[in-house]
C-alpha cells in the first residue's frame, strides 16, 4: 500500500489540528483502498454484513455531503446513493457500482467540504439541522474525525482480509 499521508502536527492551534486530523483520516481510507481491483474493493466482510471498501468510500462521500453541504452550509442537495427501497444503498449496492465514479465523487465532496469549512469559524452554527438539532462547525469536524476513525477500523479489517496488508 502506498502511503502519502501527512501526519498531523503535535502542536498547533485548534483549527489547524482539527483540519489536519480530518485530512489524515480521509487519506487513511484512500491508503486502505490503494492498489486494489474493483472486485477486491467490492469484497464483503463477512455474512450477514454487506460492508466493503467500495461501500465505505461511497458512504463517506455521502457523509461529507450531509455534514458540510446539508448541515453546515444549509444546501438542499440530494443524497448520493440512497433510494426509497434502500436507504443504505451507499453501503449495500456495490455489486455493479463503479469504483472510479465512487472515488471521484468522494474526492469532489471532500474538496467542496474543505471550501465550505474554510468559510466558517469553529463556533458557527450550521445553517441546516440534523434530526432537528443545531450543530456547531466544531462539532461537525470532531464528528467527521470520529466517523472516519470508526470506518477506518473497518477498512483495516477488510484490507487485511483481502490481501493481508496491515498498517496504521
Report yes or no: 77 and 68 within 8 Å, Cβ to Cβ: no
Whether 5 is in a domain gets the answer: no
3 state SS of 162 = helix
Whether 8 is in a domain gets the answer: no
Query: Which percentage of the chain shows pLDDT scores above 90?
Result: 88
Whether 85 is in a domain gets the answer: yes
Whether 139 is in a domain gets the answer: yes
**pLDDT tens digits for range 104-117:** 999 999 999 999 99
Domain count, the chain: 1
DSSP state of 70: I
Which residue range forms the structural domain that includes residue 61? 14-163
Residue 104's φ and ψ, nearest 5 degrees, are -65, -45
pLDDT of residue 47: 83
CA dist 124 to 33, 67, 68, 112, Å? 34, 13, 12, 18
Whether 9 is in a domain gets the answer: no
pLDDT of residue 4: 80
Q: Give the pLDDT band (50/70/90) at residue 1.
A: low
Whether 97 is in a domain gets the answer: yes
Whether 4 is in a domain gets the answer: no
**pLDDT tens digits for range 60-77:** 999 999 999 999 999 999
pTM above 0.85, yes or no: yes
Whether 45 is in a domain gets the answer: yes
Let me know how long the chain is: 168
CATH of the domain at 153: 1.20.120.450
Amino acid at each position: 500500500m502506498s502511503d502519502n499521508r501527512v501526519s498531523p502536527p503535535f502542536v498547533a492551534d485548534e483549527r489547524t489540528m482539527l483540519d489536519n486530523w480530518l485530512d489524515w483520516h480521509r487519506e487513511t481510507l484512500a491508503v486502505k483502498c490503494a492498489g486494489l481491483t474493483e472486485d477486491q474493493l467490492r469484497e464483503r466482510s463477512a455474512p450477514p454484513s454487506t460492508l466493503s471498501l467500495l461501500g465505505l468510500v461511497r458512504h463517506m462521500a455521502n457523509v461529507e455531503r450531509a455534514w458540510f453541504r446539508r448541515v453546515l452550509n444549509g444546501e438542499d442537495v440530494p443524497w448520493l446513493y440512497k433510494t426509497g427501497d434502500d436507504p443504505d444503498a451507499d453501503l449495500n449496492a456495490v455489486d455493479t457500482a463503479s469504483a472510479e465514479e465512487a472515488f471521484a465523487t468522494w474526492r469532489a465532496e471532500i474538496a467542496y467540504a474543505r471550501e465550505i469549512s474554510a468559510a466558517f469559524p469553529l463556533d458557527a452554527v450550521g445553517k441546516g439541522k440534523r434530526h432537528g438539532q443545531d450543530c456547531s462547525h466544531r462539532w461537525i469536524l470532531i464528528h467527521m474525525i470520529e466517523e472516519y476513525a470508526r470506518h477506518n477500523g473497518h477498512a483495516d479489517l477488510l484490507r487485511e482480509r483481502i490481501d493481508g496488508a496491515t498498517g496504521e
